[in-house]
Structure 1
Amino acid sequence: MEDREMVDWAGDCPVYSVNYFTSAVTLSYLTALREEFEIPNDVELIVPGPNDLPSQPPPGCITLSAKFFRAGLRLPFHLFLRRTLTRLNVSPMQLNANAYRILISCYVLWAKNFVT
């Protein structure tokens, strides 16, 4: 990644290690993900360009890992997850797949045991 220019839009924030990984995402891969995880057609999936950085998605976009979907995440985000991310003041990519698995499991247990 020596040829990539690291842009720090966040000011004093450190450079994120995720930016050192080159994306292997293709249109056919995104199509397969859409089918496997039933991502609605109104959710736009974008193939990253050669200079795109995971920590700095285009305006109006977010970066997600396929591992999140395998952990149970679905689009659009459930209200519980949206509120949790907002309350924690984190972007979706700041959590790992295990965190999504735990949050989704907690919600299921809560809904099963406390909602009438």
Structure 2
Amino acid sequence: MDVANHSSVENAFKTSLDHFSEVPTILVNSAGITRDNFLLKMTQNDFDKVIDVNLRGTFLTTKTFVNAMITAKASQGSSIVNIASIIGKTGNIGQCNYSASKAGVEALTKSASMEFG
């Protein structure tokens, strides 16, 4: 599954629903990559790829999961666990893309928590 691709995420989720016949009650977003380089040497492609997988992937899987929970009118509790990194708070030499993506995951998690409880 390509977590940065909306269709891929939806297809994987549909496959899971078909196989298990019920909406899952937990989502763990742990996909993550690095493409380290100094900021002035980093390519836009390397920057974008890390943001796509680490941040967009968390957004897409969370959105798909919550939509499924709402559609199923799930009465049981559910949980979303998003894996971030201390680097999202501190930064790190050669990891401006990674640190930005993980700071974004933290902010996305806080915002989603406010929306969904």
> So what's the TM-score if we normalise by structure 1?
0.25
Using CA pairs under 8 Å that are at least 6 residues apart, name the structure with larger relative contact order, 1 or 2.
Answer: 2
TM-score, normalization: structure 2?
A: 0.25
Higher helix proportion (structure 1 or 2): 2
